[in-house]
Structure 1
Amino acid sequence: MRAMAYRGPYKVRVENKDMPRIEHPNDAIIKVTMASICGSDLHLYHGLMPDTRVGHTLGHEFIGVVHEVGPSVQTLKPGDRVMVPFNIFCGSCFYCARGLYSNCHNVNANATAAGGIYGYSHTCGGYDGGQAQFVRVPFADVGPSLIPDWMAEEDALLLTDAVATGYFGAQLGDIVEGDTVVVFGAGPIGLFAAQSSWLMGAGRVIVVDHLDDRLEKARTMAHAETYNFNEYDDIVVHLKKITDHYGADVAIDAVGAEADGNFLQHVTSAKLKLQGGSPIALNWAIDSVRKGATISVMGAYGPMFSAVKFGDALNKGLTLRMNQCPVKRQWPRLFEHVRNGHLTPSEIITHRIPLEHIAEGYHIFSSKLDGCIKTVVLPHAD
């Protein structure tokens, strides 16, 4: 089969790889019909994720058709159209029993915190991802779901991570009716978090970023107030001014340790913008909310060498809530929102490329060229 392969920082290419095979009776092999490039993939692309090995296939957002199933699989059969959450989970451990699928105890021997994630290095279990023509899906009776007949495939694709994670971020914010919510980051997850904040009763939604095309999307898609932090000497001071000098009720960090910047910045955080390896967005969130507020974190964080303002969070009485999204737990409600027209996930897609052009796709997305917000990868395109 053809599959994307990581060859080192800023180097990816499409190679011939062996077809995945059934390794456990509850495995399935999925023929991937659509995948996508996620903002968190850039952490691997830029060489910032530990133990990303040469030859690893990335991609944790994908849908497809069941190609083969193991002998114990009962819920799927060849030919079924399925959507696959980015979490790999067993469904029966202490954490899965509590709906914490992203913290499954049985799928990642390399970490005590994160569970398994498709295509996200050996730190997250070493599972090959979906930027390929075929992918092995473990625990096939637990993770994948049939795509409803009424659901568009591109909408289903985005529900495998971006929509679910944005919705989860708003959920973690414990939004009360009328709350002012500020979202840091207008990438796909930030945009869906802003949309979801309205669904949960927000009275005002503010989005902060520095890319004008993404801020325009936040205005048209999420009906949010937007501010470009490059236009202000101190975005925190501005956010306080526009909230009666109290601050927002809820802040959502949809940036994380932004997958950008250079090694000096990672070590020193010398460049006080949203750069890699530093918690700038999180510190802005801590500084810009009112006392007693809630901060939700779903941006991807790895090793950091610079300080989070934990003392300030303590003294302000803030509640910090965070986790990787347990995707499948969000699906029943999200299916309702999509079916009723409250969410149209596919409106965020700006680029569609065949798998063979994925190196160019990563370059465009990484460099924020051509107004790129979300890229769909088509593994079987001519």
Structure 2
Amino acid sequence: MRAVTWQGRRDVRVETVPDPKIEQPTDAVVRITSSGLCGSDLHLYEVLTSFMTPGDILGHEPIGVVEEVGAEVPNLRPGDRVVVPFQIACGNCWMCGAGLPTQCETTQVTDEGMGAALFGYTRLYGGVPGAQAEYLRVPQAQYGPIKVPDGAPDDRYLYLSDVLPTAWQAVRYADVPPGGSVAVLGLGPIGDMACRVAGLQGAEIVLGVDLVPERLRRARDRGVETYDLRDFDGRADLVEALRDRTDGRGPDAVIDAVGTEAHGSPAGSLAQQAATLLPRPWAVRLAEKTGADRLAALYTALDLVRRGGTVSLSGVYGGMASPLPLLTMFDKQIQLRMGQANVRRWVNQILPLLDDEDVLGVDDFATHRLPLAEAPHAYEIFQRKEDGAVKILLRP
């Protein structure tokens, strides 16, 4: 089959690799019809390269058709149309029962001290082949895949794999009071969708911050009050403007949908770039002990949120030695919540919103739909924020 493989920093290629097959009785094989390109994939493209191996298959946002099932997958059969969550979980352990499939005790990558295995996301999360491919082996298929109706376009349900539950959890974790205010930092796919979800869940004031014109326009067209970072003279100027909009206190909640590659963090950016130039064993040890994030977005969130408010992190962070202003956080009594989205926990709440009314605007959420063969180009324009690329779907 053809698949998108990682070969080095900013180097992805579409190559022929062995077809997946049933390896365990709880496996399924799914023929992929569409697979999303996620901002988290860009972290592998640019920053987390020390944990990658040439030939790793990328991607974790698939929808497709079941081709084959193992003997212990009673709920699926060939021909079923399914969305596959990005995390791999059993559905039976204590963590899954607690609504935390990202911490599944069956698939935890204990050798690395990490949570549940993920598709296409480095050896830290199990080195499981990803979904930007023609076919995907799905472990724990008795629990993970979500059946969706035949006939509806892929775009209607594909985002259940990651974007929708990640945005939904970000808003739920933000704990915005009814009629309250929330600021969303970063209007990429997750931030954009989080703004939509926040309004749907009852936030009266939704403020979106970014510096990419296309992203700002998309959010503004959905009724979000947008703020262009380029119009402000530093973080303090932006924070003052958003505080003025929220009675001088700051928003009740701030969602950081940016993560480790934030603009405006020159020291963190330099450290990340330098790490990619080291020999791989050195780079791994450095990342595991002293890795740093670009923290401009997180620092902005902590400055901006009102006293007693909540900061919700959906952007991925990976620095083991990233400094935090604990004095400020403690003094402001900030609540901080974060983590990978627990997809199956939220699916039943999201599914009713994917009817023909399309209140979340999923049908036209993608800006680009490209053949799998054009994946290198897709990564390039997404990473550079060119050609209005906000959300890209790859189709084998």
Q: TM-score, normalised by structure 1?
A: 0.93
Moved more, 297-306 or 23-32: 297-306
CA distance in 2, matches of 1:260, 1:148: 40
Deviations 1:149-184 (A, max 9, x none): 474321211121011111110111112111111000
Gaps of at least 5 residues in structure 1 are: 271-275
Match of 2:120 in 1: 119
Percent of matched pairs sharing the same residue: 39
Q: How does 1:1-382 map to 2 (within 5 A)?
A: 1-107=1-107, 108-149=109-150, 151-221=152-222, 223-233=223-233, 234-258=237-261, 265-266=268-269, 277-303=293-319, 305-339=321-355, 340-379=357-396
CA distance in 2, matches of 1:120, 1:74: 28
SS at match of 1:251: strand
- In structure 2, what residue type is equivalent to 1:75? N
Checking the alignment, whether the CA contact within 8 Å between 1:50 and 1:121 is kept in structure 2 is no
Checking the alignment, whether the CA contact within 8 Å between 1:95 and 1:105 is kept in structure 2 is yes
Moved more, 91-100 or 36-45: 91-100
SS at match of 1:217: helix
Checking the alignment, whether the CA contact within 8 Å between 2:65 and 2:81 is kept in structure 1 is yes
SS at match of 2:22: coil
CA distance in 2, matches of 1:91, 1:236: 42
**Deviation of the 1:263 alpha carbon:** 8.9
**Deviation of the 1:6 alpha carbon:** 0.5
**Deviation of the 1:259 alpha carbon:** 6.9
Change (3 A) 1:320 1:12: same
Checking the alignment, whether the CA contact within 8 Å between 2:184 and 2:254 is kept in structure 1 is yes
SS at match of 1:158: helix
SS at match of 2:170: helix
Checking the alignment, whether the CA contact within 8 Å between 2:262 and 2:296 is kept in structure 1 is no
Change (3 A) 1:210 1:261: closer
Change (3 A) 1:346 1:308: farther
SS at match of 1:55: coil
SS at match of 1:194: helix
Checking the alignment, whether the CA contact within 8 Å between 1:269 and 1:306 is kept in structure 2 is no
- The answer to which structure has the higher helix fraction is 2
- In structure 2, what residue type is equivalent to 1:159? L
CA distance in 2, matches of 1:306, 1:269: 12
Deviations 1:218-243 (A, max 9, x none): 1113x110001121112112222222
CA distance in 2, matches of 1:43, 1:260: 14
Checking the alignment, whether the CA contact within 8 Å between 2:239 and 2:304 is kept in structure 1 is yes
Deviations 1:65-99 (A, max 9, x none): 11111122111111111110111111122211101
SS at match of 1:352: strand
Deviations 1:295-333 (A, max 9, x none): 111111112554222221111011111111011211111
SS at match of 1:208: strand
CA distance in 1, matches of 2:304, 2:243: 6
Checking the alignment, whether the CA contact within 8 Å between 1:28 and 1:70 is kept in structure 2 is yes
SS at match of 1:7: strand
- In structure 1, what residue type is equivalent to 2:183? V
**Deviation of the 1:346 alpha carbon:** 2.9
Deviations 1:114-142 (A, max 9, x none): 31110011111110110000110001110
SS at match of 1:74: coil
Checking the alignment, whether the CA contact within 8 Å between 1:278 and 1:304 is kept in structure 2 is no
SS at match of 1:265: helix
CA distance in 2, matches of 1:263, 1:179: 34
Change (3 A) 1:172 1:262: closer
CA distance in 2, matches of 1:311, 1:171: 26
Checking the alignment, whether the CA contact within 8 Å between 2:366 and 2:390 is kept in structure 1 is yes
SS at match of 1:335: helix
Checking the alignment, whether the CA contact within 8 Å between 1:266 and 1:305 is kept in structure 2 is no
**Deviation of the 1:269 alpha carbon:** 9.3
Change (3 A) 1:261 1:243: closer
Deviations 1:31-54 (A, max 9, x none): 111001101100001142541111
Gaps of at least 5 residues in structure 2 are: 274-291
CA distance in 2, matches of 1:292, 1:150: 47
- In structure 1, what residue type is equivalent to 2:386? L
Match of 1:273 in 2: none
Change (3 A) 1:96 1:78: same
Checking the alignment, whether the CA contact within 8 Å between 2:81 and 2:147 is kept in structure 1 is yes
